[in-house]
A and B are shown apart, each in its own frame.
Chain A
Amino acid sequence: MDGKLRELLDISENDFDVVVRITREEDIAIARQMAKQLAQELGFSLADVTKVATAVSELARNIYRYAQTGKIMIRKRLEESGGPAIQVVAADRGPGIDNVDRVLARGYTTHERSLGIGLPGVRRLMDFCEIASKVGTGTVVRVEKRRRKF
């Protein structure tokens, strides 16, 4: 897990189409907007565009809320065998999560004004969700959504 986290934290920004640094609350809206645009460019359905944008909003808010600063990186993946997909990596060097399984359970939160459904919600909105975290080092969440054929 530790090696995986290091690898993810040091992932190169150059490989991504968009990098949004989260330092202010307004940056959450910017990240959301960017995700929306890339998903639209990939030809996602309106429902899936909204799901991706909402998931990114959720991840960006978690960074702002718990780590204060971090970044959201988004890329289009056209070469995937299952069709084009969008990949989002949310990385921060904040306090980290001591028990990843627990935050993925519904209703768990350390924030007073939160519903505690953010991360499990993200997992349900996307096709793939992976969390690597270590207390004192940081957290990286990698999620993916494929374009659906109708």
Chain B
Amino acid sequence: MDENRVEMLVEELEAGSKHEEKLWRKLLPGVVSGATGNDLREMIREPLFGLLHELGETALGAKLKLVIERTPTFPTAELLPLILELCGELRHDSEQAVRELERMLSELATPIVRIWAEVLLVPLIGSLDSDRAQGMAEKLLERVSTTRAKVVVVDVTGVPTIDTAAGGFLIETFSAVKLLGAEVILTGLKPEIAHTLVKLGIDFRMVVIARDLEDALRQAIAMIEEDRSRQRKIVWTRGSNFPGEGGEHDGI
């Protein structure tokens, strides 16, 4: 294969970028060399994959058509299975990427923020169905248990509708959080959603409701203070019963 012809072809292909030009220069000598079987595959696999990635199937197809017209010895039949194989690989890669993004999205969409000592904030965003909601519940329970949080503030401002499935999911999650010994404060219910919940018969009376985030935080701090003073009282009572152990310490 003479270099001139490859050069002419490359020029005719009007590569959009230097990178594309380089790939064609690598690919063309291979396909017009007359090589077959594994030798051919070996030579063209990498640049072909690069071009597929760079141009996409449609544009590459159009350009290959031009090459085939100019090259009578073009090994079309040999190239076909290889191209299909590469397309499959490319699709697999992009599916992998989509899955990765979905996973990232579900993590990003349900942040759990520590807003005060022993207080976690969960701002829920988007619709509450499917695995995403399930993942969120698991993550929250895990965090409540590891951080020993006493209050979880759940903000549903970013949830567009709550149907029985979403409501059921919330009730389940709230019950599980309470079983771990933490309190739940629900906030961000919009008036139209409140109305719908009543009609559906979904009852959130099991948790504390706050008007807004400010109210939620105030109630959360009050709950923690109450909890602390109760614990102090327990220590104090014990101390008076067992003067030898804690009485002196508490007296200071």
Contacts and interface: CB of A to CB of B under 8 A. Distances in A.
A49 interface: yes
B199 A125 contact: yes
A147 B105 CA distance: 38
A113 B169 CA distance: 9
Nearest to A113: B168
Contacts of B129: 25, 28-29, 61
Interface string A29-57: 10010000000000000110111011001
A121 B130 contact: no
A118 B162 CA distance: 12
A148 interface: no
B161 A53 contact: yes
A125 B196 CA distance: 7
Contact of A106 (B161, B165, B191, B201): B201
Nearest to A116: B164
A95 interface: no
B125 to A, nearest CB: 14
B130 A58 contact: no
Contacts of A102: none
A10 B168 CA distance: 34
B206 interface: no
B127 A29 contact: yes
Contacts of B193: 50
B167 A57 contact: no
Interface residues of B, number: 21
Interface string B113-128: 0000000000000010
Interface in A74-119: 106, 113-115, 117-118
Contact of A57 (B130, B163, B195): B163
Contacts, number: 67
Contacts of B64: none
A58 B165 CA distance: 8
B192 A25 contact: no
A73 B163 CA distance: 19
Contacts of A113: 168
A124 interface: yes
A58 B164 CA distance: 7
Given A28-B129, A29-B129, A106-B201, A115 B192 contact: no
B1 interface: no
A61 B199 contact: no
Given A47-B192, A51-B196, A121 B164 contact: yes
Nearest to B193: A50
A46 B167 CA distance: 20
B165 A125 contact: no
Interface of B: 127, 129-130, 160-165, 167-168, 171, 191-193, 195-196, 199-202
Given A29-B129, A47-B191, A47-B192, 14 more contacts: A25-B130, A32-B127, A32-B161, A46-B191, A49-B192, A50-B193, A51-B196, A54-B196, A57-B165, A58-B165, A114-B168, A121-B201, A124-B199, A125-B199
25 contacts: A28-B129, A29-B129, A47-B196, A49-B192, A50-B161, A50-B192, A50-B193, A50-B196, A51-B192, A51-B195, A51-B199, A54-B162, A61-B129, A61-B165, A106-B201, A115-B164, A117-B164, A117-B201, A118-B163, A118-B164, A120-B201, A121-B199, A121-B201, A124-B199, A124-B201
Interface of A: 25, 28-29, 32, 46-47, 49-51, 53-54, 57-58, 61, 106, 113-115, 117-118, 120-121, 124-125
